[in-house]
Every structure is written in C-alpha cells, then in structure tokens.
Structure 1
C-alpha cells in the first residue's frame, strides 16, 4: 500500500488538512470512549485522514454496524479505499461532509447514532461549517452524538449553537493537545 505523507498533505491543503501529524492513539481513545458499540447501528466519520479513528471504530464495533467515511482529500481517500477494501459494512465516499444526507441515501442509512469528526472547523469557511453542523444535527437520532476535536476553543460557541448540549474534555498527550467536544441534540 502506498504511503501518504500527512505533513505534505497539510502543506498542500492547509485549509482542509487541519494538522501536521495524524491524531495520536490517546486522542483516538478519548474520541470513541463514549460510544455505545453494542447499540450503535450507524456511525459516520468526517475527515478520517489516514484512518486513526477509523481503526478504533472498526476494532470495537459490532460487525453489523455500518460505518460511512467521508473524505475530501483525494490522497487520503485513495489510501482509505486501498486500506479497507476488504472490510465489510464500511463505505468510503470522496466528497464533502456538507452532502452527508445524499451519501446516507446512497448507502441506505436512515439515521446516525454517532458522527466522529476530524474536520478543522477553525480553517473551514463559516458557511461550509454551518452547513455541515446543521446537517449533522438533522441526521443524528434522538440522543445521538457528534464528537469532534479542535486544537483551540475558538469554535466552541459556534459549534454549540447547533446542538442542545456540549461537553468538553482535553487530551494533552496529543501533539498538539486537543479539545474534544461531545455534542447532542434533543429531538423533542
């Protein structure tokens, strides 16, 4: 399998690749720690990059749980397609998370239990971020979660406006240290 340099992708695409290095396994563990893998039927991951979180999702999920990856970087998309070509119930889309509802229809996914995101909201245009977060709130089932990480708290208030509840944690063992936002929306 061809190796894709995260650093080179960051330098070439700084607005869509939000870091110099892939996320640490410590951050990966903290991102997925609240997922109920026994109950989750549908999980979406925005911006999986090289698959650090994807690996953990595949390892812990029920084999019947469907995972949909949405990657906007062509090199990472190609890497993921090759890396997971034999993985059942894993679908990989080359496109933008703005179009999540269309991708869900294409793969017969009626709702989502969890959305994991590695998207750099601080460098995305506000209109794109708004569309992604608004659509994410729509697709989550009752008490579903949107879990994202950011390197600063700059977008916390912005992200919070799309959800009814946001809890924040910090992972210092990542480079750079990261904030994890776990967001839920009540549909009542």
Structure 2
C-alpha cells in the first residue's frame, strides 16, 4: 500500500489492524468478543486443560465427522485435527465472518471446513458437505445469553444430526446448556475444569 492509499484508510481502522497484528489470535478473539459479546462465551480462549478434558471421551478411531460450533480463532480446531483420522473431516460453524476469515487464512488442512452460518442449521450444513450424520459435536456457545429459542433449536438439531452412540460435547460457565440438552439426551456426563478463565462446567450428552 503506497502513502496515498494509506492516507485514505481511516486512522481507527489502521489502529485496529495494527492491534490485531500485534496481539495475533488473541487480538482477533478479543475483537470478536467486543463486537458480539452475546455470541462469544468468553473474553479469552479456553485453556489447554479444558481442551484435554473435553476431548478425552472421544473415540477418535471411529470419528469420521467432527463438528464444532463457535470455533473462535481455532483453540479447539488444532487439537481436534491432531487427533482426527486422515480420512476424517472437521466442520466448524460460526456466525461471525471475522473468525471464519481468520480460520481460512491460518489453518491449511484438507480435512478442515469452516462455514459461515448458524449452528441451528447444522443438519443442512452437514448434508451439504456430503455427510449423513456427525459423530461428535462440540460447542462453547453461551447458551445462557443466546436469543430466545436459539438454544433449544440448536440442542434439538444437534441431537438429530448425531449418529447413535455419538455425543454432544459442551463447555459452559453456567448450567443452562444442560437444561436444553436434557430434553433430548437421556445420558449426560458432567465435569468441571477449574484451570480455565473462568472455571467452566463440562457436559457430554450421549445419543442412545
């Protein structure tokens, strides 16, 4: 960009871009939280302890399709891809184009498919990419602050899209998500991770 073009870019935009470059993924994550606090569960990404505990029950050898809602800057994406079989697929769904654009630019893996859309449309998204069902669905979406009706719709759609024996993996700061899950999942295992900001509740809803 030459000096003339640079002068035409608003100072506020240049400052924002400089901040994002300086902060890296943290800057992108923080910007997403500031712009859409209701849709982002935390002001900072999940800890490695939360990631390890959340993914521990997954049977990776039988996982062909893993879906994540609200991937942010890819905090879970990379650990999932490290564990996913070579013929597996990871579809991530987010309503924020900031995060989707960032993931497209930073994760180069043929098994990785970032989608700009709503988690409530997971069935259509999964079918559009050639799958009949998902083996596991992970969500860090803040169910307690989602607009009315969205949480129940996501829980119902997730149950329908999962194969028998699959699971809905949810990490939250409140237990609201469990209320939505309990309408569809008869078995819900629970956990807690104190080494996270903030400490979070963990749920694994298994489809019969």
Question: TM-score, with normalisation over the residues of structure 2?
Answer: 0.85
Q: Give RMSD over aligned pairs.
A: 1.4
- Cα offset for 1:121? 0.5
Aligned length: 185
Instruction: Determine if the alignment matches structure 1 residue 46 to structure 2 residue 69.
Output: yes
Q: What residue is the counterpart of 2:78 in the other structure? A: 55
Structure with the bigger RCO (C-alpha within 8 Å, sep 6+) is 1
Q: Which residue number in structure 2 is paired with residue 96 of structure 1?
A: 118
Quick one: distance in 2 between partners of 1:143 and 1:100?
18
The 5 A counterparts of 1:59-98 are 59-84=82-107, 86-98=108-120
Q: Which residue of 1 aligns with 2:129?
A: 107
Provide runs of 4+ in structure 1 moved above 4 Å. Answer: none
Specify the structure having the higher radius of gyration (Cα).
2
Paired residue secondary structure (2:144): coil
Structure 2: gaps (5+ residues) = 1-19
| Aligned equivalent of 2:200, options 170, 178, 188 | 178
TM-score (norm 1): 0.93
1:119 matched to 2:166: no
Q: 2:37 aligns with which of 10, 14, 38?
A: 14
| Counterpart residue number, 1:26 | 49
Looking at structure 1, the residues matched to 176 and 151 of structure 2 have their Cα atoms a distance apart, in angstroms, of 13
Whole-angstrom CA distance in 2 between matches of 1:160 and 1:176: 24
Please report how far the alpha carbon of residue 152 of structure 1 lies from its aligned counterpart in structure 2 after TM superposition. Answer: 1.6
Whether the 8 Å contact between 2:67 and 2:136 is mirrored in structure 1 is yes
**1:126: how far off?**
3.2
The structure-2 alpha-carbon separation of the partners of 1:89 and 1:155, relative to structure 1 and needing over 3 Å to count, comes to: closer
Question: Following TM superposition, by how much is the alpha carbon of 1:102 offset from its aligned partner in structure 2, in angstroms?
Answer: 1.2
